Amino acid sequence: MERRRHSIFLACSAGVLVLLYLLSSTNLILHEKKAEIYPISVIVEDSSDEDYEKLRKGMDQAAEALHVDLNFITLYEPNDQKQQIQLISREISDGAQAVIFSPAAPAEAALSLDEMVLNSPLIVLGNLFPHSQVLCGISIDYMEAGRLLGEAAGKLSEEYPIYLITQGLDYGYAREMNDGIRKALGHRERQVALYPLNSEDDCRKLIESTVYPHSQQVILIALDEKSLEEAARVLEESSVYGEQVMGLFGIGGTNRILNYLDKGIIRGLVVHNWFDEGYLSVEKAVEAIQEGGGLREQITLEACYITKEDLRDPAYEKMLYPID
């Protein structure tokens, strides 16, 4: 009798152990409720993510707060609009519940997206597109940014012609910037010329042309970040060019650009809060996923014109050098 009781006790204990194992180590009985993680892809217009530090800080902070698994995707070649569109399709079919993208060529992107059926919402780091699945656009007003630069350059002597340099009016929002600058300078009689930088050496050649064959003092305004960096790099290399270029203005906020502003190579810069832009884009993407659509909206961020002196201003310091 005692032996039987002992056997039953052992069998029961084994049964309990099996039950405990099933409960703790498998999901056969109890299905563990996992916190929902939203896979969101970010597609930018460059081939490296190095210059998106501030934007990414905002995105990463939002990702942590809102349970987002963020894939930050760069292109094989900078400004390849076709690849951006292919990547949007790929990411959605790979399970991205929303895509945030910074269009390389907005007009071309809008046309391509019109022909596409999108199963996930899109957030644009730029102006809102007509497509119904593009639920939010976040950007500064580029016309206004152009106006700010035009006004600043317009304060310099009218003797100097203004050269507008760009990678092309179709890339980014250079066209709007160009319009804004011309509008600001419209009432003044001064020479404004547009110079698209088609090859790597075009910027150097343009600046060299102010020295030889004819010496000509000019003002340069870059309509995009890449052109601004290129011009600043050329000016840094030779003090001769600095005497010909009476002012370099532009838009952008990479640390290299801010260093050029600090060194006095760039005279004035339009900046905005990239951290907020990043945070908002992820927040809006999560809202779009949770609500399954919603109202389409355009969020306009403030564009600020700064000079070297503003770099030490605590208000701008926080914006330009966000901490982790």
Instruction: Give residues in contact with other proteins (CB under 8 A).
Output: 4, 7-8, 11-12, 14-15, 18-19, 21-22, 26, 28, 37, 47-50, 53, 64, 69-74, 76, 90, 94, 255, 324
CB atoms within 10 A of CB 130: 10
Q: Which is nearer to other proteins, 189 or 200 (CB)?
A: 200
Q: Which is nearer to other proteins, 4 or 155 (CB)?
A: 4
Angle subtended by helix axes 53-65 and 274-291, to nearest 10: 40
Q: Which is nearer to other proteins, 37 or 193 (CB)?
A: 37
CA atoms within 13 A on the CB side of 261: 25
Q: Minimal distance in Å, beta carbon 258 to other proteins?
A: 13
Q: Which is nearer to other proteins, 53 or 310 (CB)?
A: 53
Q: Token pair for residue 125?
A: 């780091």
How far apart (Å, rounded) are the C-alpha atoms in residues 142 and 76?
27
Q: Minimal distance in Å, beta carbon 232 to other proteins?
A: 16
Q: Minimal distance in Å, beta carbon 69 to other proteins?
A: 5
Q: Minimal distance in Å, beta carbon 186 to other proteins?
A: 42
Q: Which is nearer to other proteins, 22 or 193 (CB)?
A: 22
Q: Which residues contact 303 (CB under 8 A, 6 or more apart)?
A: 140, 141, 142, 144, 145, 148, 270, 271, 272
Which of 140, 141, 100, 134 shows the shortest CA–CA distance to 117?
134
Asked if residues 278 and 233 have their Cβ atoms less than 8 Å apart, the reply is no
Q: Minimal distance in Å, beta carbon 277 to other proteins?
A: 19
